[in-house]
Amino acid sequence: MASLPNLPSKRTLSRWLTALLLPLLVAGLILVQPEPSHAARGGRIGGGSFRAPSMPRSSGGMRGGYGGGYGGYGGGYRGGGIGFPFLIPIFGFGGGGLFGFLILMSIVGVLVNAVRGGGRGNAALNGSGELAQRPTAAGPVTMLQLQVGLLASAKALQEDLRELAASAQTGSSSGLQRVLQETTLALLRQPELWVYANVETGSVPFASAESTFNRLSMTERSKLRAEVTSNVAGERRTDELSEKSAGEADAANEYIVVTILVASSSRIKLSESISSEQLRESLRILGSTSSTDLMALEVIWQPEGRGDVLSAEEVVTSYPNLQHL
């Protein structure tokens, strides 16, 4: 009987797959990652916690990987993997831009980690060297990004966001739900000033949700020259120049762009077709997200600061996925 050819082991296949994916990941990020904009300073409100249901949250507030200094940022993107923009619509990710690309990478990263695990599943070695069962992972997490570009005359919106940053309790889920509700309400009160909008959604495995959210947040934050108004995970900071000149900070602005990033344990169905009526409905649905479903939230806006200007050219360069209403 003829002998069977030697087949590569799972460990060898894992090494080959990793060696193939990592260079493609680097190349993909170089090609897709937008250049950061240094046009204007901005503001930021956010917080959250990525804990599995088997690991209940402390009654004192939302503590975990996303709190305080955003622990996930220090280690960078932990998922690994690679995807291509033209594959994104096949998987049902909205927008097809960088947002969908990052979500696809996170899913591929989970698959790579599963291969690296050598088929051991949820088992891990405990202190005595025996296999112990890991806690059961939570279900998929919905990632959502909604962006609105308004005429610069929407100064009341910036003032609303400043006041919200000064008073919001971002260390609790109920406080974050209030931030989301007040932000969507502030946008709903300015429909005549809406010019651009974009909505993108996707779903990622729980294991990669925090790293995906962190990278999406970092991508948007990199578009700001600085954060002069900030309230994140209960820590507030206000730049002195912004505080002294808040009333006159926006006199020369052309546009204001507000980004809302949401991670939810339940599915949020928003229309990704852009029109004023659909944007209005999306803001209403998003603002009604319950505090129990809201895992993480970021509200990022620019400009925010005396003399800062966001021109039409800078909007197109920094936010290429925005569509005219």
Which pLDDT value is given to residue 105?
Answer: 65
**Total domain count, the chain:** 1
DSSP string covering 169-220, please? -TTSHHHHHHHHHHHHHHHHT-GGGEEEEEEEEEEE-GGGHHHHHHHHHHHH
CA 105: distance to chain centroid?
Answer: 14
Higher pLDDT, 59 or 230: 230
With CA atoms as reference, report the closest residue to 148 among 223, 227, 256: 256
Q: Report the Cα–Cα distance between both ends of the chain, in Å, rounded.
A: 71
Higher pLDDT, 228 or 53: 228
- Does the residue 63 lie in any domain? no
- Does the residue 219 lie in any domain? yes
CA-to-CA distance for 232 and 239, rounded, in angstroms?
15
- Does the residue 228 lie in any domain? yes
Sign of CA dihedral 274, 38, 144, 174: negative
Higher pLDDT, 22 or 46: 46
- Does the residue 205 lie in any domain? yes
The pTM of this model reads: 0.72
Would you say residue 60 has pLDDT above 70?
no
Cis omega (within 30 of 0) for bond into 56: no
Range of the domain at 194: 141-324
> Would residue 47 be called left, alpha or beta, if left means φ above 0 and alpha means ψ between -120 and 50 degrees?
left
> Are residues 223 and 36 in contact, defined by beta-carbon separation less than 8 angstroms?
yes
Which pLDDT value is given to residue 109?
Answer: 63
- Does the residue 43 lie in any domain? no
Which pLDDT value is given to residue 7?
Answer: 54
Average pLDDT of the residues of the chain: 74
- Does the residue 252 lie in any domain? yes
Instruction: Work out the burial of residue 308: count CB atoms within 10 Å of its CB; fewer than 13 is exposed, 13-18 middle, 19 or more buried.
Output: buried
Q: List pLDDT tens digits, range 178-199.
A: 999 999 999 999 999 999 999 9
- Does the residue 261 lie in any domain? yes
Element (H, E) at 44: strand 42-48
Find all residues with CB under 8 Å of 163, minimum gap 6, and list them: none
Which pLDDT value is given to residue 108?
Answer: 64
CA-to-CA distance for 299 and 4, rounded, in angstroms?
59
Of the given ranges (82-86, 225-229, 232-236), which has the lowest mean pLDDT? 82-86
Average pLDDT of span 144-155: 94
- Does the residue 196 lie in any domain? yes
